[in-house]
Amino acid sequence: MVFVGFGFLMVFLHRYGFSSVGFTFLLAAFALQWSTLVQGFLHSFHGSHIHVSVESMVSADFCAGALLISFGAVLGKTGPAQLLLMALLEVLLFGTNEFVLLDLLGARDAGGSMTIHTFGAYFGLVVSRVLYRPWLEKSKHRQSSTYHSDLFAMIGTIFLWIFWPSFNSAPTSLGDTQHRTALNTYYSLAASTLSTFALSALVGRDGRLDMVHVQNAALAGGVVVGTSGEMMLTPFGALAAGFLAGTVSTLGYKFLTPILESKFKVQDTCGVHNLHGMPGVLGALLGVLVTALTTHQAYGDGLQAVFPLIAEGQRGATSQAVYQLLGLCVTMAFALVGGSLVGFLLRLPFLDSPPDSQCYEDQMCWEVPGECTDEAQVPLSVEEPDTRA
Amino acid sequence: MVFVGFGFLMVFLHRYGFSSVGFTFLLAAFALQWSTLVQGFLHSFHGSHIHVSVESMVSADFCAGALLISFGAVLGKTGPAQLLLMALLEVLLFGTNEFVLLDLLGARDAGGSMTIHTFGAYFGLVVSRVLYRPWLEKSKHRQSSTYHSDLFAMIGTIFLWIFWPSFNSAPTSLGDTQHRTALNTYYSLAASTLSTFALSALVGRDGRLDMVHVQNAALAGGVVVGTSGEMMLTPFGALAAGFLAGTVSTLGYKFLTPILESKFKVQDTCGVHNLHGMPGVLGALLGVLVTALTTHQAYGDGLQAVFPLIAEGQRGATSQAVYQLLGLCVTMAFALVGGSLVGFLLRLPFLDSPPDSQCYEDQMCWEVPGECTDEAQVPLSVEEPDTRA
Amino acid sequence: MVFVGFGFLMVFLHRYGFSSVGFTFLLAAFALQWSTLVQGFLHSFHGSHIHVSVESMVSADFCAGALLISFGAVLGKTGPAQLLLMALLEVLLFGTNEFVLLDLLGARDAGGSMTIHTFGAYFGLVVSRVLYRPWLEKSKHRQSSTYHSDLFAMIGTIFLWIFWPSFNSAPTSLGDTQHRTALNTYYSLAASTLSTFALSALVGRDGRLDMVHVQNAALAGGVVVGTSGEMMLTPFGALAAGFLAGTVSTLGYKFLTPILESKFKVQDTCGVHNLHGMPGVLGALLGVLVTALTTHQAYGDGLQAVFPLIAEGQRGATSQAVYQLLGLCVTMAFALVGGSLVGFLLRLPFLDSPPDSQCYEDQMCWEVPGECTDEAQVPLSVEEPDTRA
């Protein structure tokens, strides 16, 4: 079931046309195979064989998710060779980070607030920072959306919304824990949708809503409960978390993205900082908080499924919470350092980066049918013959 | 799985652009939370706590379904404040009606022919009647569809078609009953699709098919077996029911909708009367018939799952059928009385109803990108300067 | 779950507009009912009753899949009456072929490389050959795609990609066999996606990618493991098979389709020969190979689920492989002979075949909204009045 979740991350990026959807497809297929190998070496390498199973499919999906989030930050400004190199390295880093967090530190991160969203977003943002293009203005006219492309993107949003509860609950233990995760995700998503609409109308001109906010910020509720979804968050906690995530994300689109670009020289095409970065960090911190409040009587017999180390008496709740916080720091370190290194590698000249004036342009890499291309919007300088006189 | 069904009700309304899909999203998110509360108070209120579970998610989905059906009737003619007030009140009425039907009367309505479709459609139609706009002609030019918007709507239709068997069988007992419900729904949908194509060609100009019929009437087969799907309808019965529903629905679009508007002053934007209203009532009556024919030997051990009251000897088949019929009457009463009251409330002036000339217009509430807006279709009255003489 | 797979075969054909999606919907609904009857007579006819179950739904879906593949070959060149007659006869032939293969020969074909893909593709190609239109050039200007129609088709591709593992594993035994099938399909799809991108860039002008290749050839990996998916293919075998299938399919689109049309007079609208025909035959041969290598120790207790006849000692691995090969020959015979007969029947004049100049034209059968129709692309022969002199 969960396998579906990642697919729509692709559709969601539809609005920049063939390249978005095509390269997302390519990167996902590549990441699925490569991360099966990488995670196989790290997790299930027994006697020179890698054991594959449905769980390894789910892990590989999650890795592809993180890669696609990073892709969202550099979308339209990178060529296919750059993207494949980025995928190659990011999958390695993702696997190592996940191994450190889940296996070495024993942190819990079922829906991947840290491993997927925080890692993917900040990795992509740092790469985008290193690849900063001061003359991107030349391609600005191709960056806008159209009425139909917004509707396409909305299909992606609705799918993600619907499958997010399954996505977050996929790697949790069957039974009560899985149901709890799905319900928490669901309440959080519903709350973030409401707060997004409210905020978008509040900050909009004449109270008008902005489609970009609805497409993206409405999903922030799913990101924010990625870590704490399997824990005893309570429905009220999920609603509050979702409300907060929707608010932060919408305000981020409105106010933070322009500042990021002008002050910090980070060109974040899809706004992954608002949808994945900030809600991911919020979600990790929420996980720390909920972990610190863990008690034996709240979970009963279910404690073994969520916090095996606490149930076995090896750790207390506070100590587990410290490890969760440590997990967030490790993730940020991996994302920032890894992203910088990968970013500098991507600047190697033989990787065919598109020129500043050809960003967001399908014709660089695709055979495009005649009509309705972005090209058609470029004003033609018609020279009048005027051979009269 | 079933959770998906409702999502595409949203996509299905795509053709009026941002407002359709955006407000549907908003209303669904609102209804999911509010109806969990309302149904929690009515069904599972134990010691000042509401117990939530996967069943309460399914119930809330069903409630959102009814709300979106009503939204279909008033689509394009109401502002966001009106819609939210409508949602607030309709969820309350839906919960009460469902409680009366299922818990007090002991009627069976697994797929919601009565509780969802009949209630949602007639509620919306009455609201639309009260909000009648005699000068809606001013916005008529924006009510038409385009080639691409029809294809978008078709995506919604196909999804609904595919998920309807899961949707109808979701709340039934596991095992035989669930399989029977899925199969009955499936045969009924297939039959209604065929009859829709046949009828649409028969009544069309030069035997041409009409996309509106295919988009909508093909789904009537799913509505009509909402009550009787879990019963011993037999495949032949399901095929006959679907055939009838497709026929009635197609004829309704062709002949009844114009009469409804001109004679009864009901402006039914999406034709919910044809897709949900009439097939819903038909489905409820079919449920009465099939219930009256219930025998112990036809169901065997499965009787307990479908008709617990008959299995326990508290009611006979005929008496259960009478309760089913009573359920339909109660539903109609709730829909008509409730719809009138809510309609009058929605006429309160501070609710910002859009003016007659601004119906079906995204720019009232959304930031719309430059090209391809409906605005572009408005004929411009170009005044020729003619300063020659 | 699997039921979803076939639905998107429909969406996949979106790009020729209303007729594609509408007729696909009609044919699928018709085939589902008719094939339930046909397969019921052949497989589960007990005491004048046909037993229906969830398995018969899956079988009927598979039959609809084969029919839609054939539809892809004749798309745009046939009227609705022709299509319904074709459906009527093809479902009969499909049922008979499947009965001979699975029940009489005892061949294994879980995902239908032979019964669905090879049969459907060659049946459709032969029909298209018999219906050859030498003057199809007159409609050539309507055969191209547009930017938005390619994006619509991409939605179909992604859905098919996601649901193919479920599709192939649906009819296999629960447990290990089902997981193995899903994993094999998944690896094969990922490999064919990569090889498609690589090949498409290699053969394209200036290294540009072609959307048609990505939309179609990326799925060839799912076709090629249709027979061998449930067997001990090993992940490496699945990757190799997928890589080969993607390569063959992409090269087919680039080089073979034009030759097929000019030399063999087969007008293959959707390129089903490349996506279903060749990968299907490859898949059947791969099945022969993997079957011949079957050993008791590789499967252990799982042998009964995959090869019951070998497990019971009635056949050796080689003998089973011969039967598999025989199954492919029988399928080709059914497809070629059956396709010819049906093709000649479809040439009957009262079936209203569209004229050469009206192919790929929605207005023949549909009420089309004013703007954006294909009609708009027809060059108008504006006669200049020039009454001056």
Q: Which of A29, A369, A370 sits opposite C193 (nearest CB)?
A: A29
C-alpha span between A296 and A120 (Å, rounded): 34
Whether residue B214 and residue C25 make contact (CB cut-off 8 A), yes or no, is yes
Q: Which of C162, C182, C211 sits opposite A18 (nearest CB)?
A: C211
Whether residue A158 and residue B25 make contact (CB cut-off 8 A), yes or no, is yes
Cα separations (Å) of B363 from A147, A206, B19, B359, C108?
12, 11, 9, 10, 58
Q: Which of A1, A11, A367 sits opposite C208 (nearest CB)?
A: A367
Where residue B380 falls among pLDDT bands split at 50, 70, 90?
Answer: very low
C205 interfacial to chain A (CB closer than 8 Å): yes
C10 interfacial to chain B (CB closer than 8 Å): yes
B84 interfacial to chain A (CB closer than 8 Å): no
DSSP letters along A277-313, please?
A: IHHHHHHHHHHHHHHHT--HHHHGGGHHHH-HHHHTT
A193 interfacial to chain B (CB closer than 8 Å): yes
**Structure-block tokens of residue C322:** 């011969």
C-alpha span between B142 and B377 (Å, rounded): 8
pLDDT at position C50 is 65
| Candidates A148, A192, A205, partner chain B, best to mutate (most B CBs within 10 A) | A148
Q: Categorise residue C174: left if φ over 0, alpha if ψ from -120 to 50, beta otherwise.
A: beta
Whether residue B208 and residue C367 make contact (CB cut-off 8 A), yes or no, is yes
C140 interfacial to chain A (CB closer than 8 Å): no
Whether residue B194 and residue C370 make contact (CB cut-off 8 A), yes or no, is no
Q: By the 8 A CB rule, do C339 and C123 touch?
A: yes
Closest CA–CA distance from residue C155 to any residue of chain B (Å): 10
pLDDT tens-place values along chain C, 389 residues long = 444 444 455 554 545 667 777 777 788 888 888 888 887 777 766 666 666 666 777 778 888 888 888 888 887 778 788 888 888 888 889 988 888 888 888 888 888 888 888 998 899 988 888 888 776 666 666 666 666 667 777 777 777 777 777 777 777 766 777 778 888 888 888 888 888 888 888 887 777 777 778 777 778 888 888 888 777 777 788 888 888 888 888 888 888 878 877 777 777 777 788 888 889 999 999 888 888 888 777 777 777 777 888 878 788 888 888 888 998 999 999 999 999 998 888 888 777 777 766 666 666 666 666 543 333 333 333 333 333 33
Q: Which of B158, B190, B210 sits opposite C33 (nearest CB)?
A: B190
Residue B134 pLDDT greater than 70, yes or no: yes
B partners (3+ CB pairs within 8 A) are A, C
pLDDT in tens, B114-131: 888 899 889 998 898 888
A372 interfacial to chain C (CB closer than 8 Å): yes
Whether residue C165 and residue A3 make contact (CB cut-off 8 A), yes or no, is yes
Q: By the 8 A CB rule, do C216 and C275 touch?
A: yes
Please give the single-letter amino acid code of residue A167: F
**Structure-block tokens of residue A288:** 């720390």
pLDDT at position C191 is 87
Q: Which of B158, B186, B204 sits opposite C7 (nearest CB)?
A: B158
- The residue of chain C with its CA nearest to that of A54 is C179
Whether residue B367 and residue A182 make contact (CB cut-off 8 A), yes or no, is no
Q: Would you tell me how many other CB atoms lie within 10 Å of the CB of residue B301?
A: 8
Instruction: Name the residue with tokens 């014709």.
Output: A363
C-alpha span between B112 and B226 (Å, rounded): 5
Closest CA–CA distance from residue A5 to any residue of chain B (Å): 12
Low-confidence ranges of chain A (pLDDT < 70): 1-17, 44-54, 135-149, 173-174, 356-389
Where residue B371 falls among pLDDT bands split at 50, 70, 90?
Answer: very low
C49 interfacial to chain A (CB closer than 8 Å): no
Q: A366 pairs with which residues across the strands?
A: C209
Q: Which of C46, C59, C93, C122 is nearest to C281 (CA)?
A: C122
pLDDT at position A293 is 83
Q: What is the mean pLDDT of residues B189-218?
A: 81
C-alpha span between A159 and C155 (Å, rounded): 12
pLDDT at position B132 is 80
C-alpha span between C230 and C232 (Å, rounded): 7
pLDDT at position A123 is 92
Q: By the 8 A CB rule, do B37 and B21 touch?
A: no
C-alpha span between A95 and A143 (Å, rounded): 33
Whether residue B22 and residue A190 make contact (CB cut-off 8 A), yes or no, is no
Instruction: Tell me the residue ranges of DSSP E strands in A82-193.
Output: none
B37 interfacial to chain A (CB closer than 8 Å): no
- Residues in B touching A191 (Cβ below 8 Å): 33
> What mean pLDDT is reported for chain B?
77
- Residues in C touching B204 (Cβ below 8 Å): 367
Question: What letters, b where the CB count within 10 A reaches 16 and e where it falls short, cover A214-250?
Answer: bbbbbbbbbbbbbbbbbbbbebebbbbbbbbbbbbbb
Whether residue B209 and residue C367 make contact (CB cut-off 8 A), yes or no, is yes
- The residue of chain A with its CA nearest to that of C204 is A367
pLDDT in tens, B260-283: 777 777 777 777 888 888 899 999
Whether residue A26 and residue C194 make contact (CB cut-off 8 A), yes or no, is yes
Whether residue A194 and residue B33 make contact (CB cut-off 8 A), yes or no, is yes
Whether residue C145 and residue A369 make contact (CB cut-off 8 A), yes or no, is yes
> Would the CA dihedral through B316, B321, B324, B326 be positive or negative?
negative
Residue B240 pLDDT greater than 80, yes or no: yes
* Phi and psi at residue B50, to the nearest 5°: -100, 125
Q: By the 8 A CB rule, do B298 and B124 touch?
A: no
Percent of chain B with pLDDT over 90: 4
pLDDT at position B45 is 61
Please give the single-letter amino acid code of residue C242: G
- Residues in A touching B155 (Cβ below 8 Å): 155
C-alpha span between A338 and A343 (Å, rounded): 8
pLDDT at position A250 is 86
Where residue B350 falls among pLDDT bands split at 50, 70, 90?
Answer: confident
H helical segments located in A44-146: 54-74, 80-98, 119-130
Closest CA–CA distance from residue A33 to any residue of chain C (Å): 7
Q: C49 pairs with which residues across the strands?
A: C46
C partners (3+ CB pairs within 8 A) are A, B
